[in-house]
Amino acid sequence: EPEVTQTPSHQVTQMGQEVILRCVPISNHLYFYWYRQILGQKVEFLVSFYNNEISEKSEIFDDQFSVERPDGSNFTLKIRSTKLEDSAMYFCASRGAYGYGYTFGSGTRLTVV
């Protein structure tokens, strides 16, 4: 079964450093997403990406965050200057038409120290 692949599975970074989280969505999907889950809390939407541009973003997705699809297969989330409160599980997701195939990756656990 097709999978969404995320790397790394766990990243530890110092406060103020830049991090890039990587995702390979399912190949024939057109809609891409990043979600965040702080430990013990619900999953929150960060950003959606379609047709090579951001289609929607949440209040969380401020100027410190950016997304890119650099080569037609990878989908990245960059945090420019990490804060302690950015520590969370970050999920990439992709989907096909309508609600079908809305699939999550296994997540990247980001720890900011």
> Which among 17-25, 40-48, 61-69, 76-84 is the span making contact with other proteins, rule CB under 8 A?
40-48
Q: Is residue 72 a contact point for other proteins (CB under 8 A)?
A: no
Q: What is the largest CA-CA distance in the chain?
A: 40
CB-CB contact of 61 with 47 (8 Å): yes
CA–CA gap between residue 5 and residue 49 (Å, rounded)? 17
Phi–psi pair at 13, nearest 5 degrees: -140, 155
CA–CA gap between residue 102 and residue 95 (Å, rounded)? 4
> Which among 11-19, 41-49, 60-68, 69-77 is the span making contact with other proteins, rule CB under 8 A?
41-49
Q: Is residue 71 a contact point for other proteins (CB under 8 A)?
A: no
Q: Is residue 104 a contact point for other proteins (CB under 8 A)?
A: yes
Contact with other proteins (CB under 8 A): which of 24, 44, 74, 96? 44
CA 81 to chain centroid, in Å, comes to 16
Least Cβ distance, residue 55 to other proteins (angstroms): 4
CB-CB contact of 93 with 33 (8 Å): yes
Interface with other proteins by CB under 8 A: which residues? 31, 33, 35, 37, 41-45, 48, 50, 55-56, 89, 91, 93, 98-100, 102-104, 106-107, 109
